[in-house]
């Protein structure tokens, strides 16, 4: 088919490599001489790097990880002409690129396939595909976080509500995007399965914005 061109495949491959940029790992090693995966929860994500190294390290990581997801979706528009009038297929293509960049973040080739849980990068994807839904879910996340101080609970709640916001509030009708909404919601739940167990047992660690804490394994 006419839209199966080298550039189409190249953008998907590039999306994985963009997702594989282990922001927290590299920042921790370059500027703090610390591998954040050796401390705290062992996760290479925003929450753990804030716990281990403080907001000064965590905020740049969060911004860059969000930009990774956003960039992957925006790159697909370089191939827009390849699809011609095949708008539905182009929508599927954007969804595939979105999943690939998140998978790259969770399983980064540049960090031994040991990455984060994909929340920040997923937010970047959602910002590119569903900006208004992203705003609503972000507000929900912070409300839950401020009330409970559980990042995981905020992420899980926002993920569960996300597809309903798309369908019932913003009336999204493109089936590829609807499936993506449901799939990314399930993906977040799966990557947080250990957190869910700890929440149910009352063993989940609460989150507070503080300055750099002493490193503790």
**pLDDT tens, per residue, the chain with 217 residues:** 556 678 899 999 999 999 999 999 999 999 999 999 898 878 888 888 988 898 888 999 999 999 999 999 999 999 888 887 778 889 999 999 999 999 999 999 999 898 888 899 999 999 999 999 999 999 999 999 999 999 999 999 999 999 999 888 877 778 888 899 999 999 999 989 999 999 999 989 888 766 555 454 4
Map out the domains of the chain as residue ranges: 1-128, 130-208
The pLDDT of residue 217 = 45
CA distances from 139 to 23, 38, 83, 157, 186 (A): 24, 31, 35, 11, 20
The pLDDT of residue 45 = 84
Residues 162 and 181: beta-carbon distance below 8 Å: yes
The pLDDT of residue 1 = 54
The pLDDT of residue 82 = 80
Predicted TM-score (pTM) of the model is 0.87
In sequence order, the 6+-apart residues with CB closer than 8 A to the CB of 186 are: none
The pLDDT of residue 209 = 66
């Amino acid at each position: 088919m006419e839209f199966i061109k080298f550039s189409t495949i190249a953008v998907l491959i590039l999306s994985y490599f963009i997702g594989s940029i282990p922001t927290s790992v590299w920042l921790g090693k370059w500027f703090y001489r610390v591998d954040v995966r050796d401390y705290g929860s062992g996760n290479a994500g925003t929450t753990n790097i804030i716990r281990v190294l403080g907001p000064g390290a965590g905020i740049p990581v969060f911004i860059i990880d969000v930009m990774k997801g956003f960039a992957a979706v925006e790159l697909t528009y370089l191939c827009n002409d390849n699809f011609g009038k095949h708008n539905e297929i182009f929508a599927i293509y954007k969804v595939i690129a979105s999943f690939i960049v998140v998978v790259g973040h969770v399983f980064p080739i540049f960090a031994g396939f040991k990455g984060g849980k994909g929340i920040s990068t997923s937010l970047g994807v959602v910002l590119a595909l569903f900006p208004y839904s992203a705003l609503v879910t972000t507000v929900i996340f912070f409300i839950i976080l401020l009330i409970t101080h559980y990042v995981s609970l905020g992420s899980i709640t926002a993920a569960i509500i996300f597809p309903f916001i798309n369908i019932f509030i913003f009336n999204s009708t493109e089936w590829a995007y609807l499936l993506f909404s449901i799939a990314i919601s399930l993906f977040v739940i799966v990557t947080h399965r250990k957190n869910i167990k700890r929440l149910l047992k009352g063993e989940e660690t609460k989150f507070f914005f503080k300055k750099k804490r002493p490193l503790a394994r």
